[in-house]
Amino acid sequence: MMNKDDFMIQCRAVSKSYRKGKTVVTPLKELDLSVSKGEFLALMGPSGSGKTTLLNLLSGIDSPTQGSLIISDVELAGLSRKKLTQWRAKNVGYIFQLYHLVPVLTAFENVELPLLLSPISKAERRSRVSQVLELVGLGDRMHHTPAELSGGQEQRVAIARALVADPPLLVADEPTGDLDRDSAQRILALLKELSSTYSKTIVMVTHDPRAAEAADRTLHLEKGQLLETV
């Protein structure tokens, strides 16, 4: 039996509500979820089921309305906005479907961005950037701009950017949704390697059952609640 120290993520009765006009919307309702350290978890479900809301809570972008959310032994529900931002910078890498790269910057410069405000030296910063670009297979493309890269290469730059601060948790929102099948398979293989070889905990939202097959476990969300485990 696993103890609490084996878990990266522990959600207990987590709910999230917000007002939309005069209506209270609750995309997550008393959700319980545990994710092991180094696990690759896929989240599936229809639009509006709460998947992105859950990613935003796990990544520290938002806070739960009620319940307990513990990640890396830190209770996020009690953190101020400032403390949550500081925690997120050290602990979470976010991988987006549409990359969000700066068009005028090279791959190297895009990956370097999260480190520019950190207290590390310029030499250490550049060493880290080079290492993660080599890890994702772009050592020979680091001085190219996004316009000079394929969609799959742009996504690998985005993954390198998420990795550069060496966070224990990666959250990915449809990371293969804008890619052709071959590029998607390469991205999924990279995510599996990050989980199995580098012990990164990964939570990935996807609508693609083939993408979900790459994960260690798949959970299905429906109207803010977990309904099925595969």
In a domain, 196, yes or no: yes
Taking the C-alpha atoms of residue 179 and residue 185, their distance in angstroms, rounded to an integer, is 9
Residues 6+ apart with CB under 8 A from 168: 8, 37, 72, 91, 199, 200, 201
Name the residue among 71, 33, 91 with its Cα closest to residue 220. Answer: 33
Taking the C-alpha atoms of residue 199 and residue 37, their distance in angstroms, rounded to an integer, is 7
User: What is the amino acid identity at position 91?
Assistant: N
In a domain, 15, yes or no: no
In a domain, 74, yes or no: no
Mean pLDDT to the nearest integer, 40-58: 92
pLDDT number for residue 229: 52
In 3-state terms, what secondary structure has residue 200?
coil
The count of structural domains within the chain is 1
pLDDT number for residue 230: 47
Q: What percent of the chain has pLDDT over 90?
A: 74
In a domain, 18, yes or no: no
pLDDT number for residue 40: 97
- Residue 152: CATH number of its domain: 3.40.50.300
In a domain, 86, yes or no: yes
In a domain, 95, yes or no: yes
Q: What is the pTM of this model?
A: 0.90
Residue 154 has pLDDT above 90, yes or no: yes
pLDDT class for 77, splitting at 50, 70, 90? confident
Q: Where are the beta strands (DSSP E) in 113-177?
A: 169-173
pLDDT number for residue 155: 94
Mean pLDDT to the nearest integer, 180-195: 94
In a domain, 49, yes or no: yes
Mean pLDDT to the nearest integer, 78-105: 91
Instruction: Report the relative pairing of strands 225-229 and 217-222 from DSSP bridges.
Output: antiparallel
Residue 71 in tokens: 């990640």
Containing structural domain, residue 100:
38-63+81-229
pLDDT number for residue 144: 98
In a domain, 147, yes or no: yes
